[in-house]
Amino acid sequence: MWSFRAWDMTRVTQESAIVLHTRPYRETSLIVQLLTPNHGRVAAVVRGIRRTRRGHSVLPFNALQVSWSGRTSLVTLTHFESIESRWLTGNALAAACYVTELVMRLTREWEPHAHLFGSVGWVLGVLQAGGDLEPALREFERHLLEELGYGLDFVRDASAVPIQADGRYRLGEQSGFIASAGGQGYSGRALLEIGSDCYDDPETRRAAKRIFRSALRIHLGPKQLLSRRLFRDGA
């Protein structure tokens, strides 16, 4: 996979973007972290935007169409247009923060992930619409791991043997699922349902949460996710 380097860029116009994070910059400006389909994660300065009405357009989770210029890793936003504003509260807000924090922690700047861009837009849309939070997060986590090259096979075990619905399996740190004796581990039925993004069964939901939390921890390292503290109950 090839990737853009910041210093190769001079001017980009009419690029779709999702706002991941913002922070103040100098007295009147913001630095925004954007996720884009063609250029990956991009850090951009939006000058003179703080304490103005247009500043609401560049809040986290919003969808924009943007243009920028610059030859450094921090480009300057020259134009932006609001495509969709997303106002979230409660656990939906916590879940959106979790999604964007994962993207910020696990992706590199200027590395395109077109499918990930679509997945982030999809899960934020589900949260905005008040959809079932847990299945949406589990499906996003699975697609995120796949997009980054860390996907898990829920159809075959580590020996390439088809997973059996009545079997039991444990997750190897690097090798995938391994058949487990003595009734320990995850049920094969739950694994097959996770692979089909089917989370109707409570056992499947519990298994998926444990599996993806364990898989993500390997790549996130010891630093805790700040967004997990925002949930009112487990998700």
Question: What does the pLDDT look like over 86-107, one tens digit per residue?
Answer: 999 999 999 999 999 999 999 9
Return d(Cα 99, Cα 103) in angstroms, integer: 6
The lowest-confidence range among 3-17, 51-65, 148-162 is 3-17
Q: Hey, what CATH class is 6-84 in?
A: mainly beta
Q: Which fold has domain 132-230?
A: de novo design (two linked rop proteins) (1.20.1440)
Q: What is the pTM of this model?
A: 0.90
Q: Which residue has the higher pLDDT, 10 or 45?
A: 45
Instruction: Say what the pLDDT of residue 9 is.
Output: 55
CATH 2.40.50.140 residue ranges of the chain are 6-84
The lowest-confidence range among 10-14, 40-44, 208-212 is 10-14
Instruction: Say what the pLDDT of residue 62 is.
Output: 97
Can you tell me which residue has the tokens 């364990």?
A: 214
Region 67-80 average pLDDT: 92
CATH 1.20.1440.120 residue ranges of the chain are 132-230
Region 222-226 average pLDDT: 91
Return d(Cα 93, Cα 96) in angstroms, integer: 5
Give the residue among 39, 36, 51, 42 at the shortest CA–CA distance from 83: 36
Return d(Cα 47, Cα 38) in angstroms, integer: 23
* Residue 160 φ/ψ, nearest 5 degrees: 70, 20
